[in-house]
Amino acid sequence: MKKRMMVLLLTAAMGMTMMGCQYGGDADAKSEQEETKKEETKRSEEKSGLSGTVTLAAAASLEYAFEEELIPAFEELYPKVTIEGVYDSSGKLQQQIESGLAADLFFSAAPTQMSTLDEEGMIDSDSIVSLLENKIVLIIPTSSDASFASFEDIADANTVAIGDPKSVPVGQYSQESLTNLGLWDAVSAKGSFGTNVTEVLNWVAESSADCGIVYATDAATTDRVKVVAEAPADSLKSPVLYPVAMTKEAPNQEAAEAFYEFILSDDAMTIFESYGFTDYRSAE
C-alpha cells in the first residue's frame, strides 16, 4: 500500500513539473512574441517618421533598375518618402553636383567621378562603397548581318557609337580597352560620341551606327541589339565598378540614410542582379 502511494505521489509530482515547464515555455514564447512585436512597432514608427524627397544622382545605366523596381520597393516601405532620380553620364552628374545639384546620394558608373567629388569635400567619405560590377560589350543592330565576332572586328565598321571619353565612363572604359588592343586611333576616327550610354545604345538600336560599345546591362534592356563580344579581360586595368555614397550636405539626411541602407541590402542586390549587375563586395 505504501509502495502504491509513493508511486502515485511521484506520478503527480512529475505531472506538476511538466505542467510547470509547459507553462514556463508558453510564457517564454509569449514574451518573445511581445518583444518581436515591439521591435516591429518601433521600426514601423521610425519609418513613418521619415518623409520628404530624396534626390538620387545615378548613372544612366542604373535607371531601369531604380525606376522599375528599386524605388517602388523602397517607397512601399517608406510611404512618406519620395525618391527623385536624376540620371545621366557620371561625368555630367559630377558637374551638376559641383554646380549645386542638391543630391542626397551619388551612384557613379566609375570610381573617377566619385573620387573627384570626394577630394572636393562633397562626399561623405565613410559612406563610399564599391557596390556593383558590370561588363562592357560590343553590340550591333539585331537586324544586322555584319560578321562581327570580337572586339578586334570593330575596326571593320564604318560607323561606331561610343560614349564620349571626356565625361562618360563607358566611353572611358571603351577608350582604355581599344587603346590596349591597338585600335583606338582607327576607331575614334570614325566614332560618334554619345553623351551617355543610353544614347549610344539607341544609336545602335536605330541602326544609326554599325556597332557600339555599351554596358552588358544596357544591352539586355532591348531586343533591338545583340551582343557579339565582351571586352577582353586583359584590355581593362580594373573591373567596371559602380561606387555609391551619400553626399556630405545631403538635404534630407535621415531619409537618405534609409535609402542608402536599402541600396546596400540583400533585397536590393537581388534586384540589381536580375538586371545583370554583380555584387562586387562578394569578389573582394
Give the DSSP H or E segment for 243. Answer: strand 240-246
215 is in an annotated binding site: yes
61 is in an annotated binding site: yes
Is residue 76 within 8 Å of residue 106, measured between CB atoms?
A: no
- Residue 4's SS3 state is helix
CA nearest to 194, candidates 234, 139, 241, 142: 139
Which residues are within 8 A (CB) of 117 and not within 5 positions of it... i.e. 6 or more apart?
94, 97, 98, 106, 123, 247
Which residues are within 8 A (CB) of 187 and not within 5 positions of it... i.e. 6 or more apart?
154, 155, 157, 160, 162, 178
Annotated binding residues for molybdate: 61, 90, 197, 215
As annotated, the binding site includes 61, 90, 197, 215
